[in-house]
Chains A and B, each alone.
Chain A
Amino acid sequence: MNSKNIHRRTFLDWLLGGGLVVWAIGFVAPVVAYLWPAQRRGPGTQTVSAGKQQDFAEWQAKIVALNGQPVIVVRTPQGFRAFSAVCTHLGCIVCWDAQRHLIACPCHAGAFDIAGRVVAGPPPRPLPEFGVAVVNNEVMVKSA
């Protein structure tokens, strides 16, 4: 064997070996990323935090997204309540009427009370309710 052949063989071997290692990483890294949980709670029951308890004054409300749907969270003297923010009439997103303490729809003047029941306007059904719990000072909204 002349030294030239040995040198070339080693270089090719290094390249091949290095390429195989890179290839192996290219296989393993996405798999590890895939297996690492994408969300703290998986695709099953979804919860979302509406913020800290202190961020809500009494009779204040906020709209958050849960599973791609808007949810309105209201702080009442008796605690937090959460409802779907999609008006049951024609699907407009409702807002909080702080003066009347009602959930109002800007489209056709529908209104819901803080139990989700229809009190005015054309909505045919009450707002579906979601569970709310205060966990570690966070206001957590849970899908049904």
Chain B
Amino acid sequence: MNLFLPSLIYRRASAALLLLTAGSWLVAAEDFCLNCHDHQKQREQFLGSAHAQAGVICRDCHGGDAKAKDETAHLAADFQRPDNKKAIAAMCARCHSDVRRMNPYGLSTDQLDHYKTSKHGEQLFGKNDQKVAVCTDCHGVHNILKARSPQSPTHPSNIPRTCGHCHSNATLMAGYKLRSDVVEQYQTSHHAHLLQKGDLSAPTCVTCHGNHGARPPGVAEVSQVCGKCHVRQAELFGKSPHAEPAALGLFGGCISCHGNHGIQKASLDLFAEACVKCHAKDAKQLGVRDQIAGLLRQTTTDYESAAAKVREATRRGLATDDEQLQLQEAHTQLTQLEALQHTLAISLLQPVAVRAETAVKETLKGVAWLENVENWKRRALIPIWAFLVVMAGLFAAKRRQIDKREGK
């Protein structure tokens, strides 16, 4: 309930307060609607928004004539209270598709065009489906902030929640025969984990689906989408026997093995789970899998055991500088292997694995040499003990000699 009495005096007083807090531009705006109308909620929302900062006022979207003396006169002008989503899109586009207008703000002007190609746009403009998302559903209504602002619903860290408003609503999604667990799945993914850690370059819904032109990538386009960031892997995948079927849309490419929303950090376990989804009976293909997985597993194990040995030797205080360098070389080769496996070509993997194993061998040779030095130190104890026991004996013998000399 509005606690403030809608008296003219109050309205003038609050307007004065606003003038103090909201900036001098309002002084000139004799046609500022909020001078008379309360609209407490919208007022608070609007005054902190990016539009307010840019000098946009109520009339620019809602139309109407604030200077008119009564409500009928207000509404007689082009006042609109948009309730139809098509009308909202048109309203936003009036400015945001105007190149000249948007130029000073550095904003692009193709959002509506993109939107019309999106699934949302197709439903709205094709079937007048009022349930789909339009500008205000994602960006907010009066409290629109720059996407860079962490409070904005379109800030990368908030995107999953924003999309989830509709896409996690089971009843709503059921009407389109869409799953409603995608955001939940995404939240379990490694991408979401990176986003939570503050890495804003981590992919969110819009990275793969697009933002204004949002639609799920076609099966054939998946590698391109993943390849936006995972360039090397996509390039190498393009050399594999999987590339052609993926391009023809016969299977999902990256997402067939790695999943789409709930992507986890890739591990060697994927080999056990993924290949059999299609190649359950192909002994030859599974043989290739076993070769590749075996090579990777062996190289990784050898690298990790060498790394543990070097860590232990360093902790003990042995001079492991050279061995640490060799390990870095082995690590470089191993990391290359992890990307190269996407070619599925054992002939490409083997030389790199050999280089990795060579570096590992050099590392272990170095550690063994250091151990050898320690062993020589231990062996040297024998002559040292011999010498010192002889010296002790000589001291005792001299003492006995002196005692004898004195007849004691």
Interface residues of A (CB under 8 A from B): 5, 8-9, 12-13, 15-16, 19-20, 22-23, 65, 67-70, 86, 90-93, 106-109, 121-122
Contacts and interface: CB of A to CB of B under 8 A. Distances in A.
Determine the main DSSP class of A at the interface with B.
mixed
B339 A107 contact: yes
B322 A65 contact: yes
A12 B394 contact: yes
Contacts of B372: none
B394 A70 contact: no
A86 B328 contact: yes
A97 B339 CA distance: 20
Chain A CB within 10 Å, residue with most, of B324, B390, B394: B394
A23 B391 contact: yes
A27 B275 CA distance: 68
A23 to B, nearest CB: 7
Given A92-B331, A107-B332, A122-B229, A12 B397 contact: yes
A121 B401 contact: no
Interface of B: 229, 231-233, 235, 321-322, 324-325, 328-329, 331-332, 335-336, 339, 387, 390-391, 394-395, 397-398, 401, 405
Given A13-B398, A106-B336, A107-B332, 16 more contacts: A8-B401, A12-B397, A16-B394, A19-B391, A19-B394, A20-B391, A68-B321, A70-B328, A91-B332, A92-B332, A92-B335, A93-B332, A108-B231, A108-B339, A121-B231, A121-B232
Nearest to B236: A109
Contacts of B397: 12
A16 B395 contact: yes
6 contacts: A16-B394, A16-B395, A19-B394, A107-B332, A107-B335, A108-B232
Please name the 9 residue pairs, one residue from A and one from B, whose CB atoms are nearest each other, closest first: A68-B321, A92-B332, A107-B335, A108-B232, A93-B332, A109-B232, A16-B394, A92-B335, A19-B391
A91 B321 contact: no
Contact of A16 (B233, B324, B328, B398): B398
A16 B390 CA distance: 10
A86 B331 CA distance: 11
B93 to A, nearest CB: 36
Contacts of A108: 231-233, 335, 339
Contacts of B229: 122
B44 to A, nearest CB: 39
A92 to B, nearest CB: 4
A67 B319 CA distance: 12
Contact of A12 (B324, B328, B398): B398
Given A16-B394, A16-B395, A93 B387 contact: no
Contacts of B328: 70, 86, 91, 93
A81 to B, nearest CB: 21
B390 to A, nearest CB: 7
Contacts of B231: 108-109, 121-122
Contact of A65 (B325, B398, B401): B325
Contacts of A70: 325, 328
B303 to A, nearest CB: 13
A68 B387 CA distance: 39
A109 to B, nearest CB: 5
A90 B387 CA distance: 54
Nearest to B320: A68
Contacts of B390: 19
B232 to A, nearest CB: 4
A1 to B, nearest CB: 9
Contacts of B232: 107-109, 121
B310 to A, nearest CB: 11
Contacts of B329: 93
A23 B391 CA distance: 9
A104 to B, nearest CB: 11
Nearest to A15: B394
A67 B324 CA distance: 11
A106 B231 CA distance: 12
A2 to B, nearest CB: 12
Contacts of A92: 331-332, 335-336
